[in-house]
A and B are shown apart, each in its own frame.
Chain A
Amino acid sequence: MRPNDSRIATVKVLYFARLREVFGREREQVELPGNVQDVGGLTAWLRSRGESWERELAPGRPVRIAVNQDMAAADTPVGDGDEVAFFPPVTGG
């Protein structure tokens, strides 16, 4: 940890539908590395877990992401206490 940055950013990550099944979890708390500051960074970091993470979150895959329950884009900021959800395109109605 950097000496001048003792605060650890923790975010709640949720997974729905097919992604919940593939990743085998519906939620987790993750501590963000210092260089992860937005949705794109978080996605890349999760992808680095390999295997199904790398496959399902690969660029071009149909994944939608919400931050604090609003639809987000790759440059949407992510910080301490945020709720970030990953899910497939919606199919209600």
Chain B
Amino acid sequence: MAVRVQTGDFDVGAEMTAMRRGNPKIGAIASFVGVVRDLNEGADVAEMTLEHYPGMTEKALEKIVAEARARWDIYDALVVHRVGTLKPTDQIVLVVVASAHRGEAFQACEFLMDYLKTRAPFWKKERTPEGGRWVDARTADDAAADRWS
């Protein structure tokens, strides 16, 4: 189980290979990759800057991973979240979950993303032709997280 906050990119294949290496019990690995889009709320996004709360971010992510582990029978989970300036098509976030069967891996992966979106202290600021703007929290994300409670 691991969480990482970093400015650099990540290699999805390498992370998944590393997770399953040497563990013959693993029968399923589910992953999610979040990517920067070029259009949000009707405006062109040239780039975005991700800010976070060092210390609390790691603590919050570890708590979310522990919660997933308590709910599902999973062997391993990884959350990698990038901060700093990112451009459209850049990867932002990676979640990987390993379990014996696909059901637990799929569910835990979706749960981790839903909770991360509403509980981990990251903030996005987009640069658009009209200037910078902070991204507003979406009620759809709250609803997605509430499904699990």
B93 proximity list for chain A (CB < 8 A)? 92-93
Count of A residues near B, CB < 8 Å? 17
DSSP class of B's interface residues: helix, strand, loop or mixed? mixed
Q: Does B26 contact A (CB under 8 A)?
A: no
Give the interface residue-count category, chain B: 20 to 34
Interface membership of B117, Cβ < 8 A? yes
Q: Which of B56, B113, B134 lies in contact with A88, CB distance below 8 A?
A: B134
Given contacts A17-B123, A17-B125, A66-B121, are A92 and B50 in contact (CB under 8 A)? yes
Q: Are A92 and B56 in contact (CB under 8 A)?
A: no
* Interface membership of chain A positions 64-75, coded 1 if the CB is closer than 8 angstroms to chain B and 0 otherwise: 001001110000
Which residues of B103-149 have CB atoms within 8 Å of chain A's CB atoms?
113, 116-125, 134-137, 141
A14 CB-CB contact with B under 8 Å: yes
Chain A residues in 8 Å Cβ range of B51: 16-17
Q: Which one of A18, A69, A91 contacts B53 once the chains associate, using CB atoms below 8 Å?
A: A69
Chain B residues within 8 Å of A24, by CB? none
Assembly CA distance A16 to B54 (angstroms): 11
B122 contact set on A, CB distance < 8 A? 90-93
Pairwise interchain contact B59-A69, C-beta atoms closer than 8 A = yes
Tell me whether A93 and B92 are in contact (CB under 8 A). yes
How many A-B contacts at CB < 8 Å in the complex? 71
Residues of A within 8 A of B56 (CB): 66, 69-70, 85
Report the separation of the CA atoms of residues A17 and B117 in the bound assembly, to the nearest whole angstrom. Answer: 16
Assembly CA distance A16 to B122 (angstroms): 9
Distance to closest chain B CB from A76 (angstroms): 14
Q: Which residues of B contact A69 (CB under 8 A)?
A: 53, 55-56, 59-60
Interface residues of B (CB under 8 A from A): 34, 50-53, 55-56, 59-60, 81, 92-93, 113, 116-125, 134-137, 141
Closest 7 CB pairs of A and B: A92-B122, A89-B137, A17-B123, A69-B56, A93-B117, A91-B135, A18-B134
Other than the given A90-B137, A92-B123, 11 more pairs (CB < 8 A) read: A17-B134, A18-B134, A62-B137, A71-B119, A85-B121, A88-B134, A90-B121, A91-B124, A92-B116, A92-B121, A92-B124
